[in-house]
Structure 1
Amino acid sequence: MPSVAPKKRPKDAATRADQMNRGILLYSILLALQYGAQPLISKRFTRREVIVTSSVLTCEIVKVVCALAIMVKEGSLKKTFSEWTVAGALTASGLPAIIYALQNSLLQISYKNLDSLTFSMLNQTKILFTAVCTYFLLRQKQSIQQIGALFLLIVAAVLLSIGEGSSKGSSDGSPDQILFHGIIPVLVASVLSGLASALCQWSSQVKKHSSYLMTVEMSVVGSLFLFASTYKSPDGEAIRQHGFFYGWTILTMIPVIFNALGGILVGLVTSRAGGVRKGFVIVSALLVTALLQFIFEGKPPSMYCIVALPLVVSSISIYQKYPYRVKKKEL
């Protein structure tokens, strides 16, 4: 006698797919809002006196707490850590964690010295460096359209660098301050981000780590590295002289928490939706930054930003739409 179960399976599968799509859409919207608002929130609620290392370390601690709490709620914490080893964690997450810790420190410096929209657009050059690093580490090739998209991104970055470096623009610092404490740090951070992303991709293919476990491992290793660096760094001297929370107010925790949640959302979107949806998030975040900057700061985008913005949006859209495809050999 035929069973009626198969008739229900397609409907059940469709329901699960719809629920997953709604979840991905929610994560994408939240990440776009976080990514777009982060530069403005950091500038508004983080005083210049705040020591960068203290802000980054606190963010990593919050990130670990949030990731562990989610794993407890899902019931995966015990099983995950029963299979965990120190050697495996260091192999999968050690080097990317150190790189990301340096990147976050550089980004904290850039937040304070660049226009919010300019920062967000320059930060997109990390896609270019990710493509380069994944090619050398994973032999991941690019299509002709993707190469063209990366060229558009370089043009946009050059426009922004020239525009912000030759005048004060919408920032309050001198041209030298904008260049050496704004543009250069964010570009170096983009290089580090590309290298770390390629290493994480390699680790996920070999180790099959969950996004939450990777978040915890990288945060712990990165925090230990930063903490060790305080023995010789200027930030370490400032912490010993003024205290860890020098310049902090209760509002300083707002950008810290936002940044930590954003790190978790990146892992969720990437693991569940892939690069196409992440590209949508990045494009949306640029528009969110421009809109919020105009609403809250009353500053319309500069001419350089107006010219560069469509280049950035077009390059990211093209890059995601035309992936490299292996040509089939003709028999």
Structure 2
Amino acid sequence: MASVTTATRRKDSVQPKAKVWLYLLLLTLQYGAQPLVSKRFVRREVIVTSLVLACEVAKVLCALILLAVEGSLKRQYDQWTLIGSLTASGLPAAIYALQNSLLQISYKNLDSLTFSILNQTKLFFTALFMYLILRQKQSAKQVGALALLIIAAILLSVGESSGRGSSGGSADQVLLYGIVPVMIASVLSGLASSLCQWASQVKKHTSYLMTVEMSLFGSMCLLASTSQSPDGEAIRKYGFFHGWTMWTLIPVISNAVGGILVGLVTAYAGGVRKGFVIVSALLVTALLQFLFDGKPPSLYCLAALPLVVTSIFVYQKYPYVHRKKKD
């Protein structure tokens, strides 16, 4: 009897570990491939707002399906209130909506690896807002890691501004429509992540419910902004799916799956393993860009990549420890 119980426990422990490794692998592939997929399958004439709205709708559908599969959809619906939803998800949703629009602009004006590396500066801004909002302190090694990250971002900014003038886009275009949007998006990502963690701790929202609420609120913010925006005028003139092909659905679905996977990895694997996913995803991006575009990384990317990898590894490996716990 004892041996049967032990075998059952081992089997139960193996299955969650297998799921965790599957989530980690899928998120690594999705995170690393998303810039390349968007650049390859989204035509330049596609209206950014229509693409972002489609991604948000896809996230809602995925999250609702998963809530139904796990059997908690009715319970979440019964407990849901508008005030609680606005408090937990309203502001982060508006921030993420703006961030997604900026990322879509940046996708079209930066090469995939440069975009992925610059996008990692969101860790610095996340740490900053975590301290300002939640008073989470950083260790000395973490501060050093964040400094390395900023140096890498400066290297890439200088390299992209000076080295892309003859490769299909002027230096001003790369700076204004590539580097600046992704850096602003990183700031917004840090702020929204901190607000989401605050909401999770206070409101006890599940990741699926947060996905549904934030996607719906973000979509409403985008729809409201289209009344006066150039994208709104373009949608009214050319139609919502202007420039779309069947292939455009690939980055839309990939983005939605990635949003779900981030919540699963955070829940089952924790922030440390998620950091390793980010590092691995950078390598996936570089490999895919070389395989499909035949484009080796630039010298600036090669110089910045080890700085980014080192900074993310050190930041995840050496968290702040309270003095009492040390003693």
- Give how far 1:273 is off: 1.3
CA distance in 2, matches of 1:201, 1:101: 18
- Give how far 1:62 is off: 0.7
- Aligned with residue 197 of structure 1, among 176, 193, 203: 193
Mapped pair 1:265 → 2:255: no
- Aligned with residue 45 of structure 1, among 32, 41, 47: 41
CA distance in 2, matches of 1:172, 1:274: 41
Contact 1:92 1:203 in 2 (8 A): yes
User: Which stretches in structure 2 are left out of the alignment for 5+ residues?
Assistant: none
CA distance in 2, matches of 1:150, 1:25: 27
Larger displacement relative to structure 2 (70-79 or 291-300): 70-79
CA RMSD in angstroms comes to 1.6
Q: CA-to-partner distance for each residue in 1:244-274, whole Å, 9 max, x for gaps?
A: 1111111111111101110111111112211
Residues 302 and 41 (structure 1), Cα distance of their counterparts in 2 relative to 1, 3 Å cut: same
Q: Match for residue 242 of structure 1? A: 238
| TM-score (normalised: structure 2) | 0.97
Q: CA-to-partner distance for each residue in 1:62-89, whole Å, 9 max, x for gaps?
A: 1101111111111111111111111111
Aligned length: 327
Contact 1:143 1:323 in 2 (8 A): yes
Contact 1:113 1:171 in 2 (8 A): no
Q: Match for residue 289 of structure 2? A: 293
| Correspondences of 1:1-331 after superposition (within 5 Å) | 12-168=8-164, 172-328=168-324
- Give how far 1:171 is off: 5.1
Amino acid at match of 1:158: I
CA distance in 2, matches of 1:228, 1:85: 22
Contact 1:114 1:171 in 2 (8 A): no
| TM-score (normalised: structure 1) | 0.96
User: Which stretches in structure 1 are left out of the alignment for 5+ residues?
Assistant: none
Amino acid at match of 2:61: V
CA distance in 2, matches of 1:108, 1:170: 23
Amino acid at match of 1:63: K
Larger displacement relative to structure 2 (160-169 or 247-256): 160-169
CA distance in 1, matches of 2:136, 2:326: 23
CA distance in 2, matches of 1:229, 1:330: 51
CA distance in 2, matches of 1:330, 1:252: 52
Superposed structure 1 runs of 4+ greater than 6 Å apart: none
Contact 1:163 1:169 in 2 (8 A): no
- Give how far 1:169 is off: 6.9
- Give how far 1:10 is off: 5.7
Amino acid at match of 1:49: E
CA distance in 2, matches of 1:171, 1:90: 45
Q: CA-to-partner distance for each residue in 1:112-135, whole Å, 9 max, x for gaps?
A: 000100000000000000000000
CA distance in 2, matches of 1:220, 1:9: 46
**Secondary structure class of the residue paired with 1:328:** helix
CA distance in 2, matches of 1:238, 1:22: 47
Contact 1:33 1:288 in 2 (8 A): yes
- Give how far 1:12 is off: 4.2
CA distance in 2, matches of 1:86, 1:32: 35
Contact 1:53 1:105 in 2 (8 A): yes
CA distance in 2, matches of 1:56, 1:126: 20
Amino acid at match of 2:139: S
